[in-house]
Structure 1
Amino acid sequence: MNPNERNFQAYLDEMDIITILLPLSYHHGLSSTFSITDDSQQVKPIQLIKKQQIENHNKYICRLSEEISFGHPYWILDEHGGKTDLQIGAVIRTGAFDERFFYDGNDLGVKCEANQTQFKIWAPTAAQVKVKLRKANSTFSEIIKMRREEKGVWSTVVHSDLELYQYTFLVLVNQEWRESVDPYAVAVTANGELGVIVKLEKTRREKPPLPPFENPVDAIIYETHIRDFTIHPNSGVKQKGLYLGAAELNTKSKNGELTGLSYVKDLGITHIEFLPFNDFAGVDELDPAKEYNWGYNPIHFNVPEGSYSTNPSDPYSRIIELKKLIDSIHSQGIRVIMDVVYNHVYIRETSSFEKIVPGYYFRHNELGFPANGTGVGNDIASERKMMKKFIVDSVRFWMEEYHIDGFRFDLMGILDIDTMQEVRKTCDSIQKGTLIIGEGWNLNTPLPIEKKAILRNQSKLPAIGQFNDKFRDSIKGSTFNLYDKGYVLGNEHYHKGALETITGSIGLDEPASGLFNQPTQSVNYVECHDNHTMWDKLGSCLSDLDPLFHIKYHRLATAIVLLSQGIPFLHSGQEFFRTKRGDGNSYKSPNHINQLDWDRKDLHQDNVEYIKGLIQIRKALPCFRMNNAEEIRTNTHILPLPTPLIGFSFQNQSEDFREVLLLINPLRRKQTIEISTGAWNVIANDKKAEIYSKQRVEGKEIVLEPVCVTILAKK
């Protein structure tokens, strides 16, 4: 039926409820009887149960005497001879719909074998589905009808090997044909316009053995972006800005110092976290140098981004090259965390989800409009069974096919707790020690607060780390007020917050006041890809101060990240004072703003060595990475120092040192404090950080240098 010929609209909003909208211009919006018919021509009355006027329409709520058959056209008739097709409405967002059509099979998408290719798609509201096939470099398309099966799944088998054929699905919903790429696609053409049939078994590699990883607090995460990592002219990398470039080993700066992956290995990092590398919008894959993007515009969730490959027009290129990168990182004993964006899509209306099952995969508010807690126009409805299944299937796919070791969930607070618990369970079933962290911000999405995967519900997510914004803001100052000075800048207002967050945010003396139950839930950071870098904040906060103090403040903030209980998280280049030239939101800024500046790394090599020393200290001394809250409470003693100084005495469970002191002076003047008598090794001060330091102090007093951390250890 042509939409322009409709006299009125009718929507199936529950399994047995139809909403009919009569415009006032049509018989004054008045009707007393409605009926329903289908291809059988049998007309059945429907019960009118409520009527109300809304804007220029009368709204009629009607009840069906029997449930309709989905995938089957129906028409609604009225007493005036008017007729309209019954559209699938809000029924798809009901629990009854989810129950009826949930499909738990693991065969959605395409399966290509030697002499046959199978296609399956979940489209329960479709009246017809077809698959459209095309050979590469051909303009001729073949269209094949698919058969409806149980649970709203449509399938067909083509008895030939269709490797490298391009394909889309044609779906008829609400009398309208839509063409869509398969949401389960694993390969696409350049810029993701068409799905491509590939044989992933051709690309598989053995996962090399990795060093033991016992507990999340043993991780040291290094966040970077595949292009940023190597694009600098003096990175020493041949394949700059690409998967293969990030995989290169033994690359050197113009001064002969390590860069790239070998540098990260030398620094002591355990996990590299890459900003999104699934297929995203914002960069033309055929001319990637023209544009830049962080990658938070997801298009195809199970396909690698093509702008990082040597040939985005070859569907296998991006797959093989990403696998080579992950393999190269694993060869260095480092694990890979994938930044995943399951909270929204780039554009809802053009997404595969919306084209195939309109209205199902996204949240809507009480007025029926798409929710916008993400701020980008749509919120993924993770609580729906087939959306949850997609997320869990996708996580499984990346782990099994690409050997991913961990996930960072962007805007995790949009997702529901049940989905995140299922993700955790799935990861554990594949590989113990898979790290899962996420942004637990409470966003304005229509999901009950008790179901949101947010900070306040951390007790329901015990094995998932969350970015600790209290740590961030207490240590450096508010992220959203560039001029706010945190504890490391000498602000006594943040003294209590610093004490609390350095000890794992567990409520050291008052467990009920803790942000988390366990230190393994706290991701500690002072900067990340978002907002201003710490260096740029210091330039604004302390513009009139000697830049040497900027270095000291910055070093102190990074030291606190590495020496606090919980999971330390470093922004790449933080160790050599990364700057984005004051740009506080560089998501599409050019390379010269976003790139890792390897010349700057050489310039600040002394700070790199200092941070490297702190990483070695954290790894060597268990007192800086205690596994649980009970252990922290048992082995941590707060020293009675004058505010804003902070001091801790730790009982350290290692053969080398039994007691360790962590002393922090954020003031710009020296401070003399008392310590217990005996011989102490100085393993960190304002100049050096080294676990095997030969420097000693004895006596009852020690002088703390301005703006620095001091670590003393007693055998």
Structure 2
Amino acid sequence: MRDWKFNHIDFSIYPSYKGDDLGVFWTPEKTTIKIWAPTAKMIEFRLYKDGSTGEAFHKTQLQAVGDGTWSTVLMGDYEGRFYTFRINDGEWLAEMPDMYARCVGVNGKRGIIFNPQKTNPENWQNDQGPELKKFTDAVIYETHVRDFSISESSGIQHKGKYLGFTEEETKTASGAATGLSHLKELGITHVHLLPVYDFYTVDEEKPLEKYNWGYDPLHYNAPEGSYATNPYDGTVRIKELKKLVQSLHANGIGVVLDVVYNHTFFTKESVFNQTVPGYFYRQKKDGSFANASGCGNEVATERAMVRKFIVDSLKYWAKEFHVDGFRFDLMGIYDLETMKIIRDELDKIRPGMLLYGEGWTGGESPMPEEKRAVKRNSPKLPGVACFNDDLRDALKGNHSSKKTKGFVNGLELREESVKFGIVGAVHHPQIVYDYVESAKQPWASEPTQCINYASCHDNYTLWDKLKASCPKAGDDEMRKMVKLAGAIVLTSQGIPFLHAGVEFCRTKGGNPNSYKSPDTVNQIDWARKEEYHDVFTYYRNLIHLRKNHPAFRMPLTSQIQNHIKFCTEYKIGVVSYCIYGREVGDSWEEILLIFNANRKETLIELPAGNYRIAVKGDEFNADGHGDTVSGELKAEPISMTILVKTEN
């Protein structure tokens, strides 16, 4: 029986390979096969006519060709045939596709030899995503392929599928825009998709019987089949995912993929361990698998061929699927050097791709923290952003604790933590960092490294968290809190990030961890857009405001330090500050923002001068027709007010 402990092995002496031809590649004349398996003694390649049943109709042996690689060439046209490998390193490992498999059959049991050109939609060669002048121009909208369209209220034909994103002019029964039309109406710049690589726990033959977010990786380079109209032909899922990307691009919306290279669903049984046992994972001192992911293992990103696999995979998605960025799950597991190389290599393909992730882990790692891509190491990772969980928890209370509160739901003395988020987690001379509960020092070098958010797929939705912490709050107060949280996120420096449906008070019925809960919990109920249309309108107006005013999206720390001033007298439950917009190219010379989280009107003494009311409550007067005030202002309860200084 195999011993799955590896403290006796020095993986650093394994040979590495630098070529770009690992995998299975088709041409009409031949199929070329190459894998890296330095501990193998024998490798068998098997061909099948079916993706999950039947016996192999052809078997052949690979030959060792140097640097730990094994290869063979099949002469003839094998397009559409299914394949597996079986490796013997002293004993036979499990039969499965290779780790580079780009096209797989149902449930990922076998790879498919395919012609990539046939997976391209019409006019694919002209497809191109939106160009960002600077990262802070982005407004990211996180959603799950199935959640987005599965509800009856969506009015979308291809429910739960990639093609749901391609349908134009979809509506609810009452006529409210849904799907793609909703995204255009809202005004976001990028859709962030929860994992769309091939994951394990949803049976692609019976996709509606189970639900999962997809953080259970099986094959990293092949799309998930449960979102395709045909899970048996692996080329269909590739083409339909490309159509999703093409549709969003055609409407000026970029696509960010959620990637999970930090762990695999299986450990001993994974394609990594069934190819090169132990190499792809970090180990504890006793040789057992380390578990900083909290999912049973953590990938050893610092090892040469692990790093190569991750970089090759990202480059493949960027080139083949034209995606515009990547979000890294538990990025704090990755080593810093790998993240730097990822940034550099993707810039060679297309400069300006969004790269961001969770600057933390799910548990202890044997790799020292100073070598990993955690938040506090952000200065070592230019061009890579981290989620600002400091602002998230400051706004609404601890993310995982049901009853805790934050600024918008009435907890006092959270003002300094909110200010920390407003300046994009960079250093600002007026912030007293000792009063920032979760971060005693700034961690971002530039605001482009800060993703500001109030909620995401993890934990409670914003609505559910506010409801749990304020059980006596009425509907009007609930709406105001959701609006205030959105107002802070969408006017703060950094990159704003929205959880799909937050703009119409999405609920999961109080479920704090819905990763495998049914569609009834996870689906976006588009009927709520009609019920909470004032909240949707407010968020749409906020996005429009942000896009029109560079004062809310400065790319440089020096601009924030020089042109943002906390310019009013401190009051409990209030955060207010001035932006000197003219200095950063804004049409508004001086802007005063007031966030009042108190449950009553609060009198604010204004700096000298006259101010026009641009935003007050639900009223947006960004075109210049607002009333003028001076001296003092009564800020409405649980609201944002924006004043613009006038010369009169």
**TM-score interval, normalised by the smaller of the two chains:** over 0.9
Query: Which residue in 1 is equivalent to 2:313?
Result: 394
Query: Which residue in 2 is equivalent to 1:280?
Result: 199
Query: Which residue in 2 is equivalent to 1:686?
Result: 617
Whichever residue aligns with residue 12 of structure 2, its letter is G
Tell which structure's C-alpha radius of gyration is larger.
1
Superposed CA offset, 1:144-191 (max 9, x none):
011101101000011111111111111111233432211111111101
Aligned with residue 547 of structure 2, among 605, 610, 619: 619
Q: What secondary structure, in the 3-state scheme, does the structure 1 residue paired with 2:170 have?
A: coil
Measure the CA separation in 2 of the matches of 1:681 and 1:268: 26
Contact 1:207 1:403 survives alignment (8 Å): no
Q: Which structure 2 segments of 5+ residues have no match?
A: 434-439
Query: Which residue in 2 is equivalent to 1:427?
Result: 346
Measure the CA separation in 1 of the matches of 2:509 and 2:524: 12
More displaced stretch, 488-497 vs 369-378: 488-497
Aligned with residue 304 of structure 2, among 373, 377, 385: 385
Counterparts of residues 210-289 of structure 1 (less than 5 Å): 210-289=129-208
Measure the CA separation in 2 of the matches of 1:659 and 1:309: 51
Counterparts of residues 636-651 of structure 1 (less than 5 Å): 636-641=564-569, 642-651=571-580
Query: Which residue in 1 is equivalent to 2:85?
Result: 169
Matched, 1:656 2:576: no
How far is the alpha carbon of 1:321 from its aligned partner?
0.5
Aligned with residue 41 of structure 2, among 127, 137, 155: 127
Superposed CA offset, 1:400-421 (max 9, x none):
0000100000011111111111
Q: TM-score, normalised by structure 1?
A: 0.86
Q: What secondary structure, in the 3-state scheme, does the structure 2 residue paired with 1:352 have?
A: coil
Q: What secondary structure, in the 3-state scheme, does the structure 2 residue paired with 1:350 have?
A: coil
Measure the CA separation in 1 of the matches of 2:557 and 2:56: 64
Query: Which residue in 2 is equivalent to 1:104?
Result: 18
Query: Which residue in 2 is equivalent to 1:95?
Result: 12
Measure the CA separation in 2 of the matches of 1:714 and 1:657: 8
Matched, 1:154 2:85: no
The 1:91–1:114 alpha-carbon spacing in structure 2 relative to 1, beyond 3 Å, is farther
Matched, 1:201 2:128: no
How far is the alpha carbon of 1:692 from its aligned partner?
2.0
Measure the CA separation in 1 of the matches of 2:322 and 2:9: 35
Contact 2:550 2:586 survives alignment (8 Å): no
Contact 1:613 1:691 survives alignment (8 Å): no
Counterparts of residues 310-325 of structure 1 (less than 5 Å): 310-325=229-244
Contact 1:92 1:360 survives alignment (8 Å): no
Query: Which residue in 2 is equivalent to 1:53?
Result: none
Measure the CA separation in 1 of the matches of 2:336 and 2:586: 41
Measure the CA separation in 1 of the matches of 2:32 and 2:127: 32
Aligned with residue 607 of structure 1, among 529, 535, 539: 535
Contact 1:340 1:410 survives alignment (8 Å): yes
Query: Which residue in 1 is equivalent to 2:418?
Result: 498
Matched, 1:445 2:365: yes
Measure the CA separation in 2 of the matches of 1:136 and 1:441: 42
Contact 1:529 1:571 survives alignment (8 Å): yes
How far is the alpha carbon of 1:674 from its aligned partner?
2.1
Measure the CA separation in 1 of the matches of 2:116 and 2:266: 28
Query: Which residue in 1 is equivalent to 2:632?
Result: 701
The 1:709–1:136 alpha-carbon spacing in structure 2 relative to 1, beyond 3 Å, is same
Whichever residue aligns with residue 613 of structure 1, its letter is N
Whichever residue aligns with residue 530 of structure 1, its letter is D
- Percentage of pairs with the same residue: 41
Measure the CA separation in 2 of the matches of 1:316 and 1:240: 20
The 1:657–1:155 alpha-carbon spacing in structure 2 relative to 1, beyond 3 Å, is same
Contact 2:5 2:286 survives alignment (8 Å): no
Superposed CA offset, 1:70-107 (max 9, x none):
xxxxxxxxxxxxxxxxx99556543222xxx1100000
Query: Which residue in 2 is equivalent to 1:565?
Result: 493
How far is the alpha carbon of 1:247 from its aligned partner?
1.8
Query: Which residue in 2 is equivalent to 1:61?
Result: none
Query: Which residue in 2 is equivalent to 1:372?
Result: 291
How far is the alpha carbon of 1:437 from its aligned partner?
0.5
More displaced stretch, 588-597 vs 646-655: 646-655
Measure the CA separation in 2 of the matches of 1:488 and 1:537: 11
Query: Which residue in 2 is equivalent to 1:47?
Result: none
Counterparts of residues 549-588 of structure 1 (less than 5 Å): 549-588=477-516
Whichever residue aligns with residue 107 of structure 2, its letter is N
Query: Which residue in 2 is equivalent to 1:673?
Result: 604
Contact 1:613 1:690 survives alignment (8 Å): no
Query: Which residue in 2 is equivalent to 1:530?
Result: 458
Whichever residue aligns with residue 380 of structure 2, its letter is K
Measure the CA separation in 2 of the matches of 1:649 and 1:284: 54
Bigger fraction of residues in strand:
1
How far is the alpha carbon of 1:679 from its aligned partner?
4.3
Contact 2:5 2:289 survives alignment (8 Å): no
Measure the CA separation in 2 of the matches of 1:401 and 1:268: 27
How far is the alpha carbon of 1:444 from its aligned partner?
0.7
Query: Which residue in 2 is equivalent to 1:57?
Result: none
Whichever residue aligns with residue 124 of structure 1, its letter is P
The 1:126–1:495 alpha-carbon spacing in structure 2 relative to 1, beyond 3 Å, is same
Q: TM-score, normalised by structure 2?
A: 0.94
Matched, 1:341 2:260: yes
Query: Which residue in 2 is equivalent to 1:54?
Result: none
Query: Which residue in 2 is equivalent to 1:482?
Result: 402
Measure the CA separation in 2 of the matches of 1:179 and 1:149: 22
Contact 2:302 2:338 survives alignment (8 Å): yes
Contact 1:535 1:579 survives alignment (8 Å): yes
Matched, 1:467 2:402: no
Superposed CA offset, 1:372-397 (max 9, x none):
11111111111111010000000000
Superposed CA offset, 1:115-152 (max 9, x none):
11110010110011121112247644211011101101
Whichever residue aligns with residue 461 of structure 1, its letter is L
Contact 1:225 1:294 survives alignment (8 Å): yes
Contact 1:236 1:252 survives alignment (8 Å): yes
Q: What secondary structure, in the 3-state scheme, does the structure 1 residue paired with 2:576 have?
A: strand
How far is the alpha carbon of 1:227 from its aligned partner?
0.4
Q: What secondary structure, in the 3-state scheme, does the structure 2 residue paired with 1:246 have?
A: helix
Aligned with residue 556 of structure 2, among 607, 617, 628: 628
Q: Which structure 1 segments of 5+ residues have no match?
A: 4-8, 12-86
Q: What secondary structure, in the 3-state scheme, does the structure 1 residue paired with 2:219 have?
A: strand
